Amino acid sequence: MRLLENREWDSLFSAACEAMEKAYAPYSKFPVGAAALVEDGRIVSGCNVENASYGVGLCAECSLISNLVMAGGGVLTAFPCVDGHKKVLMPCGRCRQLLFEHSAEDMLLQTPSGTRTISEVLPQAFGPRELKDFYDE
């Protein structure tokens, strides 16, 4: 696993805070910003986008993944997300699954309890490999 230098975490954290400032969260009033480092050095980010039909609101990670794919895709190696107080936030369960699909095996996440790998925060994940194994049998 490649450990990130502090300045790399700082850049990711700043990108997450910048994204959070763009959040559209008039209903929950809980803005979220997310950022991730791509294997090739790019940084992608996203914010939550809520909706008057509450249930269809999008999490910040959803916007991040859309931005990643629209920018040509890539493998994510490190990730923080922040709330409106710029405090590190734990991504929700659905978002861990969204991130898993595009994550490096040892992707690192900043969490309120320290740095964790994707497999620590989403153990025994269902992913692309399960589908491949099934169809290849």
Helices and strands, counts by H and E, the chain: 5, 6
Residue span binding ligand THU (CB under 6 A) among the ranges 1-9, 28-36, 37-45, 113-121: 28-36
Q: Is 48 in the site for ligand THU (CB under 6 A)?
A: yes
Binding mask 91-110 for ligand THU (x = CB under 6 A): xx--x---------------
| Between 38 and 81, CB nearer to ligand THU | 81
Residue of 103, 111, 95 lying closest to 1 (CA atoms): 103
Element spanning 32, H or E = none
Among 20, 38, 60, 82, the residue binding ligand THU under the rule CB under 6 A is 60
The CA distance from 27 to 49, in Å, is 10
DSSP class of residue 53?
S
Q: Which residue has the tokens 């609101």?
A: 57
Binding site residues, ligand THU, CB under 6 A:
25, 28, 30, 32, 48, 50, 57, 59-61, 91-92, 95
The catalytic site residues sit at 61
